[in-house]
Amino acid sequence: MYELIQVSERSFYIQSPAKIGLVTLSDRDVCLIDSGNDKDAGRKVRQLLDANGWRLTAIYNTHSNADHIGGNKYLQGQTGCRIYAPGIEQAFTRAPVLEPSFLYGGYPFRELRHKFLMAQESDVQPLTQEVLPEGFTLLPLPGHFFDMAGVRTPDDVVYLADCLSSRETLEKYQIGFIYDVAAYLETLERVKTMQAKWFVPAHAEAGAEIAPLAQYNIDKVWEIAGRILEVCRQPLCFEAILQRLFAAYGLSMDFQQYVLVGSTVRSYLAWLKDTGKLSARCEDNLLLWERV
């Protein structure tokens, strides 16, 4: 873990729970794409930097999930590097309590206020094409989270953040986190047609081919949508839908799974309603969902 792997002339990634991109900008200067899940990850990154005689100039956060920004504060404090994040991800990076609050739908209770859902705050600036080093391209990848973005480097390596998951991850957890299902599918369709020297997804193996995995993730979305429609053949409230999905997929609920899977299922319900496949109504002070 935390092995430095070179994939092109200037582009590397650090093997970690959420892969961290590293790109050399000169003989001495480097930038990171994300920073890992906590202070310990930041410390291990700093050790790699020091061992190679590199100076960290910037961290480009693809999005604000805690496992991608957790090393920000430590690395910024140690190196004085600048940190950038796209769109609304800036707000979540400055005020990380927004992530568990968003997932839970209110102020998160103590068991949700931990480093896996809530990183330490860090000073962040807007990530736009203009602030990237010369030859880099910003790639909007919305869907998994609000304004998530990836990066293409000058030596044609594409860092894909969380826009897809490995087959193993989906087989284990079944329902991967998604904020906007329609945007997620659009992103995956674009990723499926991308060409690059190398692709580096945060939660899947890096490689030269991405289309088959993108299609697998697309198919999984439609499978889950079909399962929800099957569950909603009779009118059900959200909690009953969630319970039946956990049972159907053999999942075990805890507080973290409740908010991650629960938030995703709400996103599916909204998408299926907006596309005319589900209806919703209030009855006996319950919000009921039913297949159209």
Q: What is the CATH number of the domain that holds 80?
A: 3.60.15.10
Q: Are residues 27 and 152 in the same domain?
A: yes
The ranges of the chain with pLDDT < 50 are none
Q: Are residues 12 and 152 in the same domain?
A: yes
Q: How many domains does the chain have?
A: 2
56, part of any domain: yes
Q: Are residues 15 and 152 in the same domain?
A: yes
- Where a domain ends, among 139, 159, 179? 159
Report how far residue 163's alpha carbon sits from residue 139's, in angstroms, rounded to the nearest whole number: 11
- DSSP code of residue 109: P
Q: Name residues whose C-beta falls within 8 Å of residue 7's C-beta, 6 or more positions apart in sequence.
A: 13, 157, 197, 198, 200, 206
| Domain boundaries, position 49 | 4-159
Q: Residue 3's pLDDT is what?
A: 97
* Strand spans (E) along the chain: 4-6, 11-14, 20-24, 29-33, 55-60, 82-85, 125-126, 137-140, 149-152, 157-161, 198-201, 236-237, 278-283, 286-291
Q: Residue 72's pLDDT is what?
A: 98
Of 167, 175, 186, nearest in space to 259 by CA? 175
Q: Within its chain, how far is the Cα of 27 from the centroid?
A: 31
Q: Residue 6's pLDDT is what?
A: 98
237, part of any domain: yes
The tally of CA atoms less than 13 A away on the side-chain side of residue 287 is 10
- Where a domain ends, among 96, 124, 159? 159
Tokens of 289: 């969902």
The residue whose two tokens read 């994040």 is 85
68, part of any domain: yes
Q: Are residues 127 and 254 in the same domain?
A: no
Of 37, 61, 9, 38, nearest in space to 198 by CA? 9
Q: Are residues 130 and 244 in the same domain?
A: no
Is the separation of the CB atoms in 33 and 60 below 8 Å? yes
The amino acid at 283: E
Q: Residue 162's pLDDT is what?
A: 98
